[in-house]
Amino acid sequence: MALDTKTGKERWKTGRGQSRIGHVSPNIFTNAAGEAEVISGAGDVVQGFDAKTGKLLWSSKNTGEGVVPSVVLGLDLAFVASGWGGKESIKAFKLGARGELLESNIAWEQKKGMPKVPSFLFLKPFLFIIGDNGAAMCLRAETGEVVWQERLGGNFSASPVAAEGRIYLTADSGDTTIIEAGPKFRILASNSISERVQASLALSGGRLFLRTARNLYCIGNE
């Protein structure tokens, strides 16, 4: 569905065809011609819709009801989570094609380290991942090649965020590990709030906003 931001009125509403329930937040891809697509994932598919009209432009098979990580875009690729029951993987779909594509537009598939809840983080040329079990991984976004893989420990629900060359990884325990956003795994700092955290950090104006089970914190200089 698309709504007019000034009036709240519905601009278009469309179905996605046969697909099971989806929990995936969409993203917007703008091609070289300046045309915008809504890239949306659901239980069995990842699809592109014309942002102005809602017309279904393409559909690719991506099985996995209950997939939660949001669609992440970069290098004209859509990075998505896929599958359950021992068939979990991270897939990169090439954007720009049209029609019923099935899996013909897959650029690569990586069967290691797919998170069930936290979304991916794209920082050109890398894709950073934190698994629910605390396994952190860096992939080369263009190929899916593993650059490094390390275990932080603990459980994670929050998605990684980045600022000024640093990546912030917040565990359910309230511990935030700050690592270097690069091709080598290097821990820069570690901080604890001693409260349960499942929401992702928000960044604005040089400050961090951290929501715990009981409180909302703003962290930064005055």
pLDDT reading at 32 higher than 90: no
What mean pLDDT is predicted for residues 28-55? 93
Partners of 80 in the β-ladder = 91
Q: Which residue has the tokens 């709030």?
A: 193
**pLDDT value, residue 175:** 95
Rounded to an integer, what distance in angstroms lies between the CA atom of residue 196 and that of residue 22? 26
Structural domain boundaries enclosing 46: 1-111
Q: Which residue has the tokens 């699809």?
A: 47
**pLDDT value, residue 222:** 76
Asked, for residue 156, whether it belongs to a domain, the answer is no
113 neighbors 120 (Cβ within 8 angstroms)? no
List the single range of 14-23, 30-39, 68-77, 188-197 with lowest mean pLDDT. Answer: 14-23
* DSSP-assigned states of every residue in 189-203: EEEE-SS---SPPEE
Split at pLDDT 50, 70, 90, the class of 43 is confident
Asked, for residue 121, whether it belongs to a domain, the answer is no
Asked, for residue 54, whether it belongs to a domain, the answer is yes
Which CATH number characterizes residue 44's domain? Answer: 2.40.128.630
Residue, of 208 and 85, whose pLDDT is higher? 208
192 neighbors 152 (Cβ within 8 angstroms)? no
Asked, for residue 8, whether it belongs to a domain, the answer is yes
Rounded to an integer, what distance in angstroms lies between the CA atom of residue 142 and that of residue 123? 12
Split at pLDDT 50, 70, 90, the class of 37 is very high
Asked, for residue 101, whether it belongs to a domain, the answer is yes
Structural domains in the chain (count) = 1
Asked, for residue 170, whether it belongs to a domain, the answer is no
pLDDT reading at 20 higher than 80: no
53 neighbors 8 (Cβ within 8 angstroms)? no
Asked, for residue 214, whether it belongs to a domain, the answer is no
Asked, for residue 32, whether it belongs to a domain, the answer is yes
List the single range of 12-16, 33-37, 58-62, 159-163 with lowest mean pLDDT. Answer: 12-16
Rounded to an integer, what distance in angstroms lies between the CA atom of residue 31 and that of residue 41? 19
